[in-house]
């Protein structure tokens, strides 16, 4: 990022100023893979064109051979949303790869990937241990992202359904299942609550639901549909124990009992943790 800023200064490419609505570069986003030496650089720009972009790309890829892809994301909005809808792959394939618990994952610009891969392996291993999966189990992985939890637990169960509302994440998840030769994982682009309602309507049985929501936790509508689906076990992974505690209160009222809880230090040198909670009906 420091080198990118030097190059922008060299070619007189101005940062975007949200007060005057002038300039061009809003953000520089990087993603790196932990187990593979691969990096992604994303220029988030206000305008469609970045002057001298080819010189900048040539310099960066020459100096940093680990850069596998460079992307331009165009965001002409005037609010605090980081990423725009339009993107152009300027160099490489538009994604990087990483491995996690024996599986290889494609990570694209908009797909969510945990920021601390070493501790993610601790987190997922503990969550799977808590779930006590049987080879006959059918599992729903709500908020599945690019399929990291789904594909990790697939070898322990009969069938896993991964559900996610971000279309690109589901595209990546399907590709990740294919590249890892996993055939008992099915990925659906849908609201998780709506998907579970359809399961109830079809009178299908689910043994366990894995829940890993964003910081705001689960909506009341989602929790209602989850309890209507009535799985035997719920494994709730949270990055915000306050909203997890709120949701737990609701689930206890609906007849679920917390059996185990395990915090995992995902964010060293901060007060934040990921927290695993096992509930049984």
CA 35 to chain centre: 17
Question: By the 8 A CB rule, do 9 and 17 touch?
Answer: no
Question: By the 8 A CB rule, do 96 and 104 touch?
Answer: no
**Phi, psi values for residue 66, rounded to 5°:** -75, -15
171's CB contacts (< 8 A; 6+ apart) are none
Question: What residues are labeled active site?
Answer: 239
Helices 2-10 & 53-63 angle (0-180, nearest 10): 150
SS3 helix, strand, coil % of the chain, rounded to 5?
30, 30, 40
221's CB contacts (< 8 A; 6+ apart) are 193
Buried b (16+ CB within 10 A) or exposed e, 202-223: eeeebbbbbbbbeeebbeeebb
């Amino acid at each position: 990022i420091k080198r990118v800023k030097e190059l922008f200064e060299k070619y007189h490419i101005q940062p975007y100023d949200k007060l005057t609505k002038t300039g061009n570069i809003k953000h520089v986003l990087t993603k790196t893979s932990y187990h593979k030496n691969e990096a992604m650089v994303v220029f988030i720009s206000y305008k469609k064109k970045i002057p001298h972009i080819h010189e900048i790309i040539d310099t960066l890829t020459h100096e940093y051979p680990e850069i596998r892809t460079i992307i331009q994301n165009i965001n002409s909005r005037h609010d605090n949303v980081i990423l725009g809808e339009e993107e152009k792959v300027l160099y490489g394939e538009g994604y990087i790869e990483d491995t996690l618990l024996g599986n290889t994952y494609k990570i694209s610009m908009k797909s969510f990937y945990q920021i601390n891969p070493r501790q993610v392996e601790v987190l997922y291993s503990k969550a799977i241990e808590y779930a006590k999966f049987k080879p006959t189990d059918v599992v729903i992985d709500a908020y599945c992202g690019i399929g990291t939890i789904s594909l990790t637990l697939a070898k322990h169960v009969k069938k896993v359904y991964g559900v996610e509302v971000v279309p690109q994440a589901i595209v990546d998840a399907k590709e990740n299942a294919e590249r890892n030769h996993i055939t008992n994982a099915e990925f659906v682009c849908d609201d998780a609550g709506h998907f579970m309602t359809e399961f109830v309507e079809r009178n299908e049985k689910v043994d366990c639901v894995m829940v890993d929501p964003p910081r705001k936790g689960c909506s009341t509508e989602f929790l209602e549909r989850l309890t209507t689906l009535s799985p035997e076990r719920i494994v709730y992974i949270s990055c915000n124990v306050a909203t997890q505690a709120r949701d737990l209160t609701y689930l206890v009222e609906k007849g679920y009992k917390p059996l185990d809880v395990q915090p995992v230090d995902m964010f060293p040198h901060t007060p934040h943790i990921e927290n695993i909670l096992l509930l049984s009906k």
